[in-house]
Chain A
């Protein structure tokens, strides 16, 4: 049985129960957050670092958590920001090396022993890498995680209408890539 968010927050306020609260927080959310990050980052080692940073940030600021959003939404927001910041930094770093992150991650998919998908899944991942980050994020959350637009709106701070448009554009682009055999 998954621990209750209220219980985690209650324990986090008690000085002698903090470690217990952190253990429960990780137990409940580590897998979901890991996959959320991994689908964007592709590389396991980077996803692991970002997941640890996410928990570190969440833990350092849990005292400021006001409870306006659910713990789940708050953690997803931190993980998403960490991931997008990481991608932007990586892109800036690659500007001087005449390389791009999409090609790099595409090559990683080809050679990564931890990639367990079939050829269709491999093609989809390469198509996704050609999309803007926001569209990729929206597609992953909708297609793989089956999130509602309302949940996504809370996490990403974007209107439901804009999210629907993003998803629509993402699907159209992927379909075009596949039909034209771009990947």
Chain B
């Protein structure tokens, strides 16, 4: 290997004054800073690791509470209808024991007869009797 071609093997770089002498001091300083930073990160990490199970437990209680209050509400409409129906049925059954069947039919007819038919429907309100008779198809 020709040193004439590649130059001498002496390093072509220099370092600032006292670089190697002060290296340990600077390194120790850097290490202290990094150790302090790591300790701070670990502290945050340890706080999270302590709080995490408690947060999980609180969250599970909230979910249980929500299930406890919300699930019955989801089925509450059906419950009311069924309870109303059962109350109506019970009422009719108890009524049937004390009232005669004919009386019940009479009551129903009387109830139906209370229904009042409107004299003219809204649709045919503007038509005369003759016009209605003309458009009405009799089979």
A144 to chain B, nearest CB (A): 6
Q: Do residues B12 and A116 form an inter-chain contact, with CB atoms below 8 A? A: yes
Residues of the A chain whose Cβ atoms lie less than 8 Å from the Cβ of B34? 56
Interchain nearest-CB distance for A72 vs B (Å): 18
Q: Does B81 lie at the interface of the complex (its beta carbon under 8 Å from any beta carbon of A)?
A: no
Contact status A122-B9, CB under 8 Å: no
Which B residues touch A122, using CB under 8 A?
A: 12
- Which chain B residues (1-56) contact chain A, with CB distance < 8 Å? 1, 4-16, 19-20, 23-24, 26-27, 30-31, 34
Question: Contact residue range for chain B?
Answer: 20 to 34
> Is A30 touching B23 in the complex (CB atoms < 8 A)?
yes
Contact of B13 (CB < 8 Å), options: A48, A117, A120: A117
The residue among B8, B13, B16, B26 with the most chain A CB atoms within 10 A of its own CB is B13
Range of interface residues on A (Cβ < 8 Å): 35 or more
Residues of B within 8 A of A34 (CB): 15, 20
Interchain nearest-CB distance for B88 vs A (Å)? 78
The answer to whether A149 has its CB under 8 Å from any CB of chain B is: no
> Inside 8 A of A94's CB, which chain B residues have their CB?
none
Residue from A31, A121, A174, A178 in contact with B12 in the complex, judged by beta carbons closer than 8 Å: A121
A41–B100 alpha-carbon span in the complex (Å): 111
Does the CB pair A118–B23 fall under 8 Å?
Answer: no
> Given the complex of chains A and B, what is the CA–CA distance between A56 and B10 in angstroms?
29
Query: Are A117 and B5 in contact, CB atoms less than 8 angstroms apart?
Result: no
A23 touches B24 (CB 8 A): yes
Contacts of B31 in A (CB 8 A): 56, 59
Interface membership of A175, Cβ < 8 A: yes
A52-B30, A55-B27 known; A114 vs B15 contact (CB < 8 Å): yes
Q: How far is the CB of A8 from chain B (nearest CB, A)?
A: 14
Are A121 and B27 interface neighbours, CB within 8 A?
no
Task: Point out the residue from B9, B16, B20 that lies within 8 Å of A144, measured CB to CB.
Answer: B9
Instruction: Determine chain A's interface SS by DSSP, over half rule.
Output: helix
Contact status A52-B9, CB under 8 Å: no
A26 & B1 in contact (Cβ 8 Å cutoff): no
Question: Given A117-B7, A143-B9, A171-B1, are A26 and B23 neighbors across the interface (CB < 8 Å)?
Answer: yes
Minimum CB–CB distance for B27 against chain A, Å: 5
Contacting residues, chain B, for A165 (C-beta < 8 A): none
Q: In the complex, what residues of A have CB within 8 A of residue B23's CB?
A: 26, 30, 51
Q: Are A115 and B20 in contact (CB under 8 A)?
A: no
Query: Inside 8 A of A80's CB, which chain B residues have their CB?
Result: none
B20 CB, min distance to chain A CBs, angstroms = 6
Which listed residue (B4, B13, B27, B30) contacts A38, Cβ 8 A?
B13
Query: In the complex, what distance in Å separates the CA atom of A165 from the CA atom of B112?
Result: 111
A-B pairs, top 8 by smallest CB distance, nearest first, are: A117-B12, A120-B7, A121-B7, A121-B12, A116-B14, A114-B14, A124-B7, A124-B6
Known: A44-B19, A121-B8, A174-B6. 9 other contacts (CB 8 A): A26-B23, A44-B13, A114-B16, A115-B12, A117-B7, A117-B10, A123-B7, A124-B7, A144-B9
